[in-house]
Amino acid sequence: MQTPFVNRRQFLQCSAIATTLAMSGKLPLLCAKSEAGSKIDASTDPYAVKPIRDYLRRFSPSGKPTQTSSQYTLVYDIIHWSWRAGKRGTYSNSVVGRVTIDRKVTENQVVYDVSQRMRIGGVDNHLKANMICEANDWNSLREWTLYSHHSSPEGKLEPDSKLDEKGQCREGRIRVESRKYGYGFNTANPVVSQWTLLDFLLRKANQALNVRFDLLQDLSLFKPNQSLIYDGPTPIPLRDGKTVTLQTYAQTGQGVLPVHYLLDERGRPQLVTNSIISWALSG
């Protein structure tokens, strides 16, 4: 039996397809009637956690503190959404991987090391990234390296899946290169990744927040003109029958469905929800 193969770039491009389907009403995750006080949408369940309603039945917020305000490690379970048994109108969630984000500060820069594993279509996708960022409010990207590959269910590395890139951002210009190709983007806003944006929220989240940035998703896909705003409190039903209220921040912009960041009373992003793939803080 031939091992299934999923190209990482092809998988990332599927997010654009999902966006088109959602806008046409064919993905039910974020479609709902509007209500007062909601800047995105609303439904019978808290709209910010619609993609993980099934997962919430076994969710409890992580109580583990960060090491310091500048150096810490965040670990998230990666949650996948699907229709239960392939039936429209149902939903289920499963944990398909884990991402670890390690942050350290030196004299004039911030260093992030990211390790991520996620199963896609029966194939394990492994990713490691090192990012050297500016020591500013955004920790905006300066230079980075990225390595990823796929492995079969038996753990065998797929040689054709290996991706090794390096990049930099200088004076409004992003440049990404590998041994065989190179490409670039022009940017007018601070440039962040989905892994470094969490620290901005940890330090800067407040109810008056309304900022704009450019996103380099997975250090490969450029999504400019993203905005991040406070979107109100969200009650979260826990597995023990209790309810906790998390403060919600919404990201919208070119090439993304709304991304919701749900922070606890200490400002830690406990949940990050985004249509088919979400994150839940586990440590």
Residues 126 and 152: beta-carbon distance below 8 Å: no
Of 20 and 256, the structure prediction assigns the larger pLDDT to 256
Q: What is the pLDDT of residue 86?
A: 64
15-38: average pLDDT: 41
Report the percent of the chain where pLDDT is more than 90: 59
At residue 170, does pLDDT exceed 80? Answer: yes
* Distance between CA atoms of residues 203 and 278, nearest Å: 22
Predicted confidence band of residue 107 (pLDDT cuts 50, 70, 90): confident
Domain membership flag for residue 45: yes
Domain membership flag for residue 153: yes
Domain membership flag for residue 3: no
Instruction: Domain count for the chain, please give it.
Output: 1
* Distance between CA atoms of residues 248 and 245, nearest Å: 9
7-28: average pLDDT: 44
At residue 1, does pLDDT exceed 50? Answer: no
* Distance between CA atoms of residues 65 and 155, nearest Å: 34
Q: What is the pLDDT of residue 27?
A: 42
At residue 5, does pLDDT exceed 70? Answer: no
Sign, CA dihedral 44-210-283-140, equals positive
107-117: average pLDDT: 95
Domain membership flag for residue 1: no
As given in the structure block, the two tokens for residue 201 are: 């929220």
At residue 159, does pLDDT exceed 80? Answer: no
Sign, CA dihedral 170-174-72-243, equals positive
269-275: average pLDDT: 94
Q: What is the pLDDT of residue 89?
A: 67
The DSSP-derived string for 32-96 is: ----TT-SS---SS-GGGGGGTTGGGG-----PPPSSSSSEEEEEEEEEEE-GGG-TT--EEEEE
At residue 74, does pLDDT exceed 90? Answer: yes
Q: What is the pLDDT of residue 98?
A: 97
Give me the residue label for tokens 């590395």.
157
Of 35 and 90, the structure prediction assigns the larger pLDDT to 90
User: What element of type H or E holds 99?
Assistant: strand 92-105
- For the chain, the average pLDDT equals 83
Domain membership flag for residue 2: no
Domain membership flag for residue 79: yes
Domain membership flag for residue 52: yes
As given in the structure block, the two tokens for residue 182 are: 């190179």
Domain membership flag for residue 148: yes
> Among the listed ranges 69-73, 143-147, 214-218, which one has the minimum average pLDDT value?
69-73
Q: What is the pLDDT of residue 67?
A: 53
* Distance between CA atoms of residues 273 and 48, nearest Å: 7
115-133: average pLDDT: 92
Nearest to 28 by CA among 87, 96, 94: 87
Task: Residue 61: give the domain boundaries.
Answer: 8-281
DSSP 157: B
